[in-house]
Amino acid sequence: MSIARKTHLRGLTAAVLAVMLAASGAQGQGLRQPDFPAFNPDAVPQQGEDGALFNLRMSDTRRPPEWFLAIYSGTTMGTYFYVASGICRVLERTFTEHRIHCVPLRSSGVGGNVTLMNEGRAQAVMVQTDTNYYAANGTRPMPAARSGASLYNETAVLVVSKASGITSITDLPGKRVNLGPEGSGTRSLWMDALKANDIALSDLGEVFGATQDSNVLALCDGSIDAFASWIGHPSPFIQSAVSRCDAQILGMWSDGTASLVDSQEFLFPQTIPANTYTNQSQDVASYGFKASLVFHRDTPDYIVCNTVRAVALNADLFREQHPALSNFDPSEMFAQGNALEFHNGVKIFLASQNCPEVDFEIKDPR
């Protein structure tokens, strides 16, 4: 007895997909792949293209094949956890098409996700496009990692006090700015942005190195004039600054920033749409990253193909899962931010506009 699964791709054309595929992974293909730990992912049973390989007899002796996906994301307070949960929600709603169970897993963030991938413990992780890029060129290797898709923008936003007189990043000289702790990702991004705009640390009125969770309080009590974040929007964190002390939302686009974006393949011009935040009546021009889904190369093609397919074909459902996904555009999933070679499951989706047909045969394990 079997249940034939029949699927039909909607929306993306073959021509567009072919262009996306040809443009991807150019940097990663020529690298020598070093040895890396065996693939032994957390939280899922052993499985292959034909489904999970259960070692114990199921109480239900007539069990159709099924597959399992666990996505390492970030802290439960962060956007990555909710985006991974959103992917799993889409797979849950479309379960009868593919029979893939999905669970989001907490992690310490991008750095922890890279470690988990390199230890062979992760099927899939959330990272930023700079991590994807530096893995592809060998600067920060993830030899077993393969691109899955870019999912949403993480856009730079400059948040300033109303009394500061700041209208752009070029107005920062003489102002009190929290750049984040030395050695942090935020500090590194700040240094790149300041350098691109010919602003030295000595040009600032006062430099603070407090953690990001201090920003709203410091801005609203008058201790600083400005802070910046590279995040998905809308962000409750940013809205709290607007609501508490009428903070102003600015982009970080300038002639200098444009040159920075042109010089870095993992950065892109981006816009925070009008009315994303209270009293923000116009679009805000800025720049930023993409948040990317990356798979271990040994994650079954079947799982990867059906995961990206489900998200691409159920864009409205995916957008509902978190405010940061409200502007999700499936046409950009494979077009930006995927410096690592695409996973073979993604290549199957791009080349065929579909995933392999499967007969969900009910198997008797006896």
Q: Rounded to the nearest 5 degrees, what angle is found at the Cα of 327, between the Cα atoms of 19 and 261?
A: 60
Q: What distance in Å separates the CA atoms of residue 320 and residue 313, rounded to the nearest whole number?
A: 14
Q: What distance in Å separates the CA atoms of residue 79 and residue 58, rounded to the nearest whole number?
A: 36
Q: Are residues 204 and 131 in the same domain?
A: no
> How many Å from the N-terminal Cα to the C-terminal Cα in the chain?
16
Tokens of 89: 């929600």
Bridge partners (DSSP) of residue 102 are 69
**What's the confidence (pLDDT) of residue 362?**
66
Q: Are residues 130 and 183 in the same domain?
A: no
Task: Indicate whether 258 belongs to any domain.
Answer: yes
Torsion sign (Cα): 251, 256, 259, 261? negative
Task: Indicate whether 6 belongs to any domain.
Answer: no
> Cα–Cα distances in Å, from 36 out to 9, 26, 143, 276?
36, 22, 7, 43
Domain boundary among 266, 289, 312: 289
**What's the confidence (pLDDT) of residue 316?**
97
Task: Indicate whether 216 belongs to any domain.
Answer: yes
Q: Are residues 188 and 67 in the same domain?
A: no
DSSP class of residue 285 equals: E
Task: Indicate whether 361 belongs to any domain.
Answer: no
Tens-place pLDDT, residues 280-304: 999 999 999 999 999 999 999 999 9
> Cα–Cα distances in Å, from 244 out to 85, 161, 216, 292?
30, 11, 8, 32
Q: Are residues 305 and 270 in the same domain?
A: no
Q: Are residues 159 and 284 in the same domain?
A: yes
Q: What distance in Å separates the CA atoms of residue 307 and residue 301, rounded to the nearest whole number?
A: 10
104 and 73 Cβ atoms separated by less than 8 Å: yes
Q: Which residue type sits at 23?
A: A
Query: Which pTM value belongs to this model?
Result: 0.81
The answer for 217, left when phi > 0, alpha when psi is -120 to 50, beta otherwise, is alpha
**What's the confidence (pLDDT) of residue 366?**
52
pLDDT (tens place) for every residue of the chain, 366 residues total:
333 343 333 445 444 454 444 444 444 444 444 557 899 999 898 888 888 876 444 445 567 889 999 999 988 878 899 999 999 999 999 999 999 999 999 998 888 899 999 999 999 999 999 999 999 999 999 999 999 999 999 999 999 999 999 999 999 999 999 999 887 778 889 999 999 999 999 999 999 999 888 999 999 999 999 999 998 898 888 999 999 999 999 999 999 999 999 999 999 999 999 999 998 999 999 999 999 999 999 999 999 999 999 999 999 999 999 989 988 999 999 998 999 999 999 999 999 889 988 877 665 555
- Into how many domains does the chain fold? 2
Helix (H) or strand (E) holding 194: helix 185-196
Tens-place pLDDT, residues 98-125: 999 999 999 988 888 999 999 999 999 9
Q: Are residues 263 and 303 in the same domain?
A: no
Task: Indicate whether 182 belongs to any domain.
Answer: yes
Q: Are residues 90 and 137 in the same domain?
A: yes
Task: Indicate whether 366 belongs to any domain.
Answer: no
Q: If DSSP codes are grouped into helix, strand and coil, which group holds residue 289? A: strand
Task: Indicate whether 51 belongs to any domain.
Answer: yes
Strand residue runs (E) in the chain: 47-48, 51-52, 67-72, 100-105, 124-128, 145-160, 176-178, 206-208, 226-231, 248-250, 268-272, 284-296
**What's the confidence (pLDDT) of residue 353?**
84
**What's the confidence (pLDDT) of residue 358?**
81
Q: Are residues 210 and 233 in the same domain?
A: yes
Task: Kindly report the CATH number assigned to the domain that includes residue 97.
Answer: 3.40.190.10
> Cα–Cα distances in Å, from 321 out to 88, 138, 156, 239, 337?
10, 34, 22, 19, 22
User: How big, in percent rounded to 5, are the helix, strand and coil portions of the chain?
Assistant: 35, 20, 45
9 and 356 Cβ atoms separated by less than 8 Å: no
Q: Are residues 257 and 326 in the same domain?
A: no
**What's the confidence (pLDDT) of residue 42?**
92
Domain boundary among 240, 269, 289: 289
Q: Are residues 175 and 267 in the same domain?
A: yes
Closest CA to 172 of 205, 196, 195: 205
Residue 202 domain boundaries = 155-289
**What's the confidence (pLDDT) of residue 363?**
56
Task: Indicate whether 24 belongs to any domain.
Answer: yes
**What's the confidence (pLDDT) of residue 14?**
45
In the block, residue with structure tokens 């920075």: 260
Domain boundary among 241, 257, 289: 289
Closest CA to 47 of 296, 303, 297, 364: 303
**What's the confidence (pLDDT) of residue 52?**
86
Q: Are residues 97 and 171 in the same domain?
A: no
Q: Are residues 132 and 72 in the same domain?
A: yes
Tokens of 15: 């021509």
Tokens of 230: 């590279």
